[in-house]
Amino acid sequence: MELSPVFFYVFGALAIACALMVVLAKSPVTSAFSLILVFFAFAAIYAMLGAHLIAALQIIVYAGAIMVLFVFVIMLLDVTRDTGEAGKPHPILMALSVLAAMSLLAVFVWAFKNTGTPAILGPFTTEAITAAGGNTQVVSELMFSEYILPFELTSVLLLGAIIGTVAIAKRQMSAARKGGGK
């Protein structure tokens, strides 16, 4: 699977433009919808690299589930403007954070340009994956055989988080009911 440069630049530019919109947009709804477009552009790039499963999961999990929740909260609270309590940060602080971000980017670019070690190819080359029946087969087979324990542990961790959330919400609810009933 060869990554077509034209589409890479199209979706890469879309991702960068939308990521800037997320940070710079005045209205939180615009930020949220731009973030969805960022995820979508990422998914397109994954799909062009041949990682169809990752692309589909990216859209199902991030764009289809998590962002719906974000948008819901923003709309229900009817946040129309950015209402940071501190207001605008100090200009020196702003300049410093931009500088820090830029230097991080510079380090990344330098590191990717100048590393002498060639990319280490694992056993999962594009040809090997196609021969084994495609992405979905390979990932699910590994997940449910070799990596079954980490996978199950992760799901138990998530379950614990969900139960914890419900317990905390319930305690607050019953406290509110006791307080409101009097």
User: Taking Cα atoms as reference points, which of 29, 20, 40 lies closest to residue 73?
Assistant: 29
Task: Quote the least distance from Cβ 180 to other proteins, whole Å.
Answer: 22
Number of residues that bind other proteins (CB under 8 A): 23
Is 16 or 132 the residue whose CB approaches other proteins more closely?
132
Check binding of 97 to other proteins (CB under 8 A). Answer: no
Among 134, 145, 160, 178, binds other proteins (CB under 8 A): 134
Residue 55 exposed, middle or buried by CB count within 10 Å (0-12, 13-18, 19+): buried
Taking contact as CB under 8 A, which single stretch among the options 2-10, 50-58, 101-109, 153-161 is the one that binds other proteins? 50-58
Q: Between 22 and 71, whose beta carbon lies closer to other proteins?
A: 71
Cα angle 28, 60, 82; round to 5:
5
Cα–Cα distance for residue pair 40/155, rounded to 1 Å: 26
Helix then strand then coil, % of the chain, to nearest 5: 75, 0, 25
Position 135 contacts other proteins (CB under 8 A): yes
Minimum CB separation of residue 131 from other proteins in Å reads 13
Of 17, 16, 18, the C-alpha closest to 34 is: 18
Instruction: Supply the minimum distance, in Å, between the C-beta of residue 30 and other proteins.
Output: 8
Select 114 or 145, whichever has its Cβ closest to other proteins. 145
* 36 part of the interface to other proteins, by CB under 8 A: yes
Listed residue (61, 26, 65, 23) closest to 42, CA to CA: 61
Which residues 54-83 are close enough to bind other proteins by CB under 8 A? 55-57, 59-60, 63-65, 68, 71-72, 75-76
Using rule CB under 8 A, residue 53 touches other proteins: yes
Phi, psi angle pair for 144, to nearest 5°: -100, 5
Q: Token digits for 131?
A: 């021969």
Interface residue list for other proteins (CB under 8 A): 29, 33, 36, 40, 43, 52-53, 55-57, 59-60, 63-65, 68, 71-72, 75-76, 134-136
